[in-house]
Homo-oligomer: A and B are copies of this chain.
Amino acid sequence: MADAMWLKADSIRAALGETVWYLEGDEDARTIRVRREIVEFLRQPLTGNADEATVLLRVLQTVPGVTSPQGYRIHDISNGRKAIDACDGTGLLYGFYAYVRAVMTGTVCECVAEPDQQIRMIDHWDQIDGSIERGYAGESIFFGRMDSNDHSDFRAFPERDTTNPFRGDFARLESYARLMASIGINAVCLNNVNVRGDATRLIVEPFLSKVTHIADLFDSFGIRTFLAINFASPKRLGGLSTSDPCNQQVRAWWAQTADAIYRQIPAFGGFVVKADSEGEPGPMQYGRTHADGANMLGEALAPHGGIVIWRAFVYNSQQDWRDRSTDRAKAAWNNFKELDGLFADNVALQVKFGPMDFQTREPLNPLIGGMKHTNIIMEFEITAEYLGHQIDVNYVLPQWLTMIDTDTMIDGASTDNDDASSQVKSIIAHRGPNTCHTGFAAVSNVGMDDNWTGNALAQANLYGFGRMCWDNTLNAETIANEWLAQTFPDASEKTIGIIRNILLTSNAVYEGYTAPLGVGFMVTPGVHYGPSVNGYEYDRWGTYHFADRDGVGVDRTQATGSGYVAQYPPRQAAIYEDVNSTPDELLLFFHHVGYEHRLHSGKTVLQHIYDTHFAGPEAVQGYIKSWENVRGQVPEAVFDNVAQRLAQQLDNAVAWRDQVNTFFYRMTKVPDEHGRTIYP
């Protein structure tokens, strides 16, 4: 029986008390879903007589303050009764969940709300053999055998019997859709962006009919279903001799394919595409641009209202460590900046928040802000690829919110929409030719494990991502408090306080004991968990630290380095160009400095490395100690799960401490100022 996460029907029913619901207005799949949520999920009375109701759910022609079909208004009406009003079934659904949340969190329930970001998307890197690329919570909820959850290695992608790769666990999928809708997620891509083998066939029969069953379910929860496609499909599925996006037969094939999809799934969202990156096919092999490729797909989807989400995570994965002039951080800009303005209205460019790859600390990807006439979807990774594999506790909202709150420092630049301030979240929401096609997307962290996310505390990141998308003004603590109140409705304030403290400090703790000062990576190659300081140092992935006996860090300045800094607007570039104005936490991302270099903190770089790496295991030991006080206060499965993960995390933190400290001690032979043990 899967964990209920933050929607515990019994607790909600108890909190709602004597509520009698009533629903009125034009019906659609969403309003019927609301009815079913009341009757089937909450098992609460839904009356046919408005006068008997304590909460009225109303789809109205107009609702004061509500301009979007996704918005809602919750307010008191006569006799202490509440009304949840919306102009559309989708808004009503969101209002319903918001009301439940308000009741569970004891917050004020008088509001008008509309989402800050239009696209609020979850990308699954699920593979049709049931494995999940970078998944740490079991097998795919969409694919695999009904009874299977054996965590198979995603890298194998074996040629299994794939006549029906779908798991077909619709009880699980309904729970998932409910959870996602409750936090405002409105788009889900079912399959991995690396579309290989039979996964290529998901867009055609017989697999398409199976996708339809899932999409229909999701549609009732206001979620549009997307599929990741293989750009070479016209050749691989269509029998054509080319997949050139400028070829008329290719365009016709995609148009026909899209038509067939929409005949079955009218609310189909569109395609997600990783092209010309890390070995995947794309338009460049035909001498065409990313815009040519994306627009060709956009043309096929446009008649149906579908969109193309084109990933900007494009780089040459054959970099040579010996060549200091190339810099992977520059790749997204170099590949896409010149295409700004050339993408169709229904194409969105999905851009990772940083220029590298979801590290614990990165500067903002300069394409965000740099692309002025392109719909942008900002990409996050909930699954903890580099952030502890959901073994180490890592509540990542502090980092994400830092990224969306970043000031791009764009001065009076021309934009398509004058509403946009220079803050990232505003830039994303208000720029681009069609702001309906902008927003945030993130890679899912869920799988078939009983608690969905491997570590029960990692549920908070899934919850937090949705909430962050909807309301860009929430802070990390508020989101944590919401999640805690709903997830542990019976816990004492003391218990909540203990868990809150672990959550809110965990992101900084993890950053502290892994790669220092923004230099990134230093993880075990391939696996991306645990330390390997030199693991990627001489490899082809462009992820280096350049440590030698004198210093460490990557010089990305214009004056003496790779010149990456020049991709930022002048005010920002000036800050990063100067070693003295670069923030400590990004120092080694932008500069190669001596170990004796003094940080703004007053410490040397070397002593900072030692200190943060000694602090890591100490903090985790503190977590273990404080978690003991939670025993009996949270469900036993949660207690045991987190206790076991914390023990593993301590091993990991110790491994990081000792390997990183020894690595730099061997480089410097400078002992720790405080005489702590560093192995020689």
Q: Point out residues on A near B: beta carbons under 8 Å.
A: 153, 156, 158, 321-322, 531-535, 537-538, 547-550, 655, 658-659, 662, 665-669, 679-680
Q: Which residue in B321, B533, B549, B668 is a CB contact (below 8 Å) of A534?
A: B533
A548 B666 Cβ-Cβ under 8 A: yes
Q: Which residue in B531, B533, B659, B680 is a CB contact (below 8 Å) of A548?
A: B680
Listed A/B pairs (26) with beta-carbon separation below 8 Å: A156-B156, A156-B158, A158-B158, A321-B679, A322-B658, A322-B662, A531-B538, A532-B535, A532-B538, A533-B534, A533-B538, A534-B534, A534-B535, A534-B537, A535-B535, A538-B655, A538-B662, A547-B666, A548-B665, A548-B669, A548-B680, A549-B666, A549-B668, A549-B669, A550-B669, A667-B667
B548 A667 Cβ-Cβ under 8 A: yes
How far, in Å, is A275 (CB) from chain B's closest CB? 27
How far, in Å, is A550 (CB) from chain B's closest CB? 7
Known: A158-B158, A538-B659, A658-B322. A667 touches B533 (CB 8 A): no
How far, in Å, is A325 (CB) from chain B's closest CB? 12
Known: A156-B156, A538-B531, A538-B659. A322 touches B667 (CB 8 A): no
Q: Which residue in B533, B547, B679 is a CB contact (below 8 Å) of A322?
A: B679
Tell me the bound Cα distance from A680 to B547 in angstroms: 10
Tell me the bound Cα distance from A549 to B534 in angstroms: 15
How far, in Å, is A162 (CB) from chain B's closest CB? 15
Which residues from B are CB-within-8-Å of A153?
A: 156
Copies in the complex: 2
Which residues from B are CB-within-8-Å of A322?
A: 658, 662, 679
Tell me the bound Cα distance from A659 to B668 in angstroms: 20
Tell me the bound Cα distance from A317 to B459 in angstroms: 35
Which residues from B are CB-within-8-Å of A666?
A: 547-549
How far, in Å, is A659 (CB) from chain B's closest CB? 5
How far, in Å, is A223 (CB) from chain B's closest CB? 35
Which residues from B are CB-within-8-Å of A158?
A: 156, 158
Closest CB pairs A-B (n = 4): A548-B666, A534-B534, A322-B679, A549-B549
Which residues from B are CB-within-8-Å of A547?
A: 666
How far, in Å, is A487 (CB) from chain B's closest CB? 37
Residue of B nearest to A525 (CB): B525
| 6 further contact pairs, Cβ within 8 A, besides A156-B156, A322-B679, A532-B534 | A322-B662, A533-B534, A533-B538, A548-B665, A550-B669, A667-B667
A549 B659 Cβ-Cβ under 8 A: no
Tell me the bound Cα distance from A642 to B319 in angstroms: 28
Which residues from B are CB-within-8-Å of A658?
A: 322, 538
Tell me the bound Cα distance from A667 to B535 in angstroms: 17
How far, in Å, is A554 (CB) from chain B's closest CB? 13
Tell me the bound Cα distance from A156 to B668 in angstroms: 41
Tell me the bound Cα distance from A94 to B206 in angstroms: 62
Which residues from B are CB-within-8-Å of A532?
A: 534-535, 538
How far, in Å, is A606 (CB) from chain B's closest CB? 13
Tell me the bound Cα distance from A680 to B323 in angstroms: 10
How far, in Å, is A242 (CB) from chain B's closest CB? 28
Which residues from B are CB-within-8-Å of A534?
A: 532-535, 537
How far, in Å, is A593 (CB) from chain B's closest CB? 15
Which residues from B are CB-within-8-Å of A537?
A: 534
Residue of B nearest to A660 (CB): B538
Tell me the bound Cα distance from A658 to B669 in angstroms: 25
Residue of B nearest to A160 (CB): B158
A667 B549 Cβ-Cβ under 8 A: yes
Residue of B nearest to A539 (CB): B532
* Residue among A158, A533, A548 with the highest chain B CB neighbour number at 10 A: A548
How far, in Å, is A308 (CB) from chain B's closest CB? 35
Tell me the bound Cα distance from A51 to B363 in angstroms: 93
Tell me the bound Cα distance from A548 to B547 in angstroms: 12
Tell me the bound Cα distance from A668 to B321 in angstroms: 19
Tell me the bound Cα distance from A668 to B659 in angstroms: 20
Tell me the bound Cα distance from A128 to B550 in angstroms: 52
Which residues from B are CB-within-8-Å of A659?
A: 538
How far, in Å, is A113 (CB) from chain B's closest CB? 50
Which residues from B are CB-within-8-Å of A665?
A: 548
Which residues from B are CB-within-8-Å of A533?
A: 534, 538
Tell me the bound Cα distance from A301 to B331 in angstroms: 65
Which residues from B are CB-within-8-Å of A549?
A: 549, 666-669
* Residue among A153, A531, A662 with the highest chain B CB neighbour number at 10 A: A662
Tell me the bound Cα distance from A531 to B655 in angstroms: 23
Residue of B nearest to A548 (CB): B666
How far, in Å, is A441 (CB) from chain B's closest CB? 32
Tell me the bound Cα distance from A679 to B668 in angstroms: 20
How far, in Å, is A150 (CB) from chain B's closest CB? 10
Residue of B nearest to A655 (CB): B538
Residue of B nearest to A156 (CB): B156
Tell me the bound Cα distance from A549 to B158 in angstroms: 45
